[in-house]
Every structure is written in C-alpha cells, then in structure tokens.
Structure 1
Amino acid sequence: MDPRRLDYTGEGIGEDELLATPYAQVRAWVDAAVARSSSAPDVVEPLAAAVATVDAEGRPNVRTVLLRFLDERGPGFVTALTSTKGREIADNPRVAAGLTWPAMYRAVRFRGVAVELDRDEVAEYWRSRPWGSRISAWASQQSQPVSSRAQLEAAARARAEQFPDHGGADDVPVPDFWGGYRVVCDEVELWGGRRDRLHDRIVYRRVGEGDLGDALSWEVSRRQP
C-alpha cells in the first residue's frame, strides 16, 4: 500500500449548501482559504491559480499565477502581455484556470475566455505593488531566454537606477507591455473531496448573458467524480 495515499476527509459540498450565485460561492471559498492561510501553515498561497492556454499547434501550456482580481465579472491575473501566455491568449483567448486547496479538500475550476484588463484597472493595481515587484516587471522580458541569473539581476539594477525608490506609488510607471486578463467564465466547477474518492463535483454552466453574480444566467448540475 502506498504510504502517501490519503483518504480525503472533507465534507464536500451539496446542492442545498450553495449560495445564491457562482460568484458568492467562489468568493466564500476563496475568503475561507485566505483566512485559513493567516492562521494555519497548511494553506501557504491561497490565491495561487493554474492557468492553461494552448499554442498555435494546439499544445497546452499551464503555469501558476496569483489571482489578483475576483468579482462578478470573473477571476483575473496580471502578467507581461508579451509573455508566452499573453501571446497565446492573443491567438486563442479560450483558457482554463483552477484554484486548489488540498488541505481543505477543495478546488475551483474556471473555463471561459480571457479578456484583457482595462488600463485604468491595471494602473490602479500596479500602484499597489511593492517597488521591488514593479522594478522586476520592468527588468524581466518574461518567457524569453536569459544567459544567467547575473544578467537578470543586472537588468534589475539598471531599472532600479532608472526608477529609484522614493516611497511613492508613481515612482515606477506602468510598462506598456504589462497588463492582465480576466476570465469571462462559461463554466465554474466546485470540487469537494470526500472519503473513498467519492468526491462532489458541482458545476455552474452558463445559460444566459449575465455575469457570475446573476443567478438566472447559470444552470447547476452535478457530475460524477
């Protein structure tokens, strides 16, 4: 018997527990994960999300980003628009994303279309980032090859000299090549782990034009695990 095999002891989720809208339900789970991360060591990065795209040949790519936006319009993240994910989204905006909290026996899966964030929204978030994070965004040609760690650090030092830290939100301007995306969802799935791998999968599927806060735009169903 594999000593690493665990029996999931989560409470799962039932249809009678669902909140009024997919947004309300996802927000409740995200907030619970964030709250647990502040008091327990088993949820280290509650906003870490896997985002999957496909390249021009239809080959999938997946990477981890941090969820920086979540409202009725959908989940969102920031990135260099010139990165691999940015280029692939430009060619094919259909994406999937997932949040997973193993210690809580919960996961959320999103499927939909990535839409570029409004520049005002990008700028507002950019100003909230620490100075060092803003410098790194300028220094990194995201997804491009680099000869060494030393070259990357030299680029960061050059940008730090260009945009010195005066303690202000506008010390470092927003690069034109930097932005983000929101996933406009067609489907949202909630996964709740249970014993003997008989897990719960509750799915919201779009049937109307409303956002995640519009209950009438979503049909709820259960899938087998």
Structure 2
Amino acid sequence: MDREVSELKKEILSLREPEGWELKGRDIWQGQGSFKKFPQEFRHRAFKKVSETMSHLPCHIFAVQVNKKNLGETSEDIKDDTGLYRLAFNQLLEQLDAYLKQYNETGILLMDSRSAHHTSVQDRRSSDIYRDWKSQKKSSNFMELPFFGVSDGYTGLQLADYVVYLIDRYSKKARTASGHTELEEAFHLLEPKIQLLKIPILQHKIHFEYR
C-alpha cells in the first residue's frame, strides 16, 4: 500500500518528493496547502485518482457518521463534544472488533494524533474512551492501547483523512440539487469497500444504516 500511494503522489505532483507532502482530501479538493496554486480541474482529477488507487488496494473502510442536527435533546448521554465523540468512537470500535473476530485476527489501532505541541488532552480522551469500552467487553481482539502517530509519516492515516473528507463532502452534496461529477465518481469507486454506519438518534433510539 505504501508503494502504491507513493507512486500515486509522484504522479500527482511530479516535481515534489512524495514524502514531502501529505495526501489530504480537503487540500486537494479545495485548493489548499500543497494544492493552493493548482486549477480546479487538475485538483478534482487528482482527487478522483486517489479513489481509483484505493479501490485496488487491499483495504476495508469502516466509518461512523453522526448527524448532529438529529441528536438535539434526544439523548441525555450526549451533553457535549466528548459525549458525541464517545458515541461515534464506541460504534467504530464495535465494527472493527467484529471484523477482527470474524477472521480470528488481532489488531492494534493506529490513530492520528490530535495533540498540538506538548499537550496530549485529545489523545488522552481517545485512550480513556478506549479503556472504558474495553473494560465493558468480555473479550476483544484489540491488543494494547491505541498507538498515536503523526499523519505525515503514515500512509494509512493520510488515506483515512482522504476518506473522511470524501464521505463528508459527498453526504453534503447529496442533499443539494447540484453536485460534482468527480466527487460522485470518487465516492462510488470506493463505495463497495465502505461500511458506513450513520447515527441519527430519533425517539431515544439509535438508527443504523449500513452501506
């Protein structure tokens, strides 16, 4: 996977070393960061190319999407962003653990470090939620605590960033009358790999929708 993505990055920005820039969905689509001076047509083609490459890679995509507007006052447990994050993270852990158990495999979570400078508040929050989740499980196929890495050094984290942006952007465009062909094509290329869990909370119940 590392090799394929490195070749892709060389193809997209041939004058830059692939290790010298991050593959970020927002930067490519909106013309930010390394793509600030590139025309939209080029950027959108590059965006779709990422999906084309990922569609051939040996990976599975698990995602949890929470509709904040439908949360409202429906759950006493969701009082702030931490409660919202806990809900989403717990559901993602359930999906991943079920997948590992299905194939009798063990795994370690590699997470994008959200800490800045010398603070580790956000990473600690993730670790605490993980500990709470695991303490309530009779068994889990995860080993140890999550490992936190910086995205510019890990291909998997960069691909995760791209997928998160793709799903979010596509969901928003799906609610409008107009959309971008490249965006739709990029999403549909990866759709067979995506197990998307949508969580609106209605009448004190969680509704699950799988793709």
Kindly name which structure, 1 or 2, has the bigger radius of gyration based on alpha carbons: 1
The structure whose residues are more often helix, as a share, is: 2
TM category (shorter chain) comes to under 0.3
> Which structure ranks higher in relative contact order (CA pairs < 8 Å, sequence separation ≥ 6)?
2
Normalised by the length of structure 2, the TM-score is 0.27
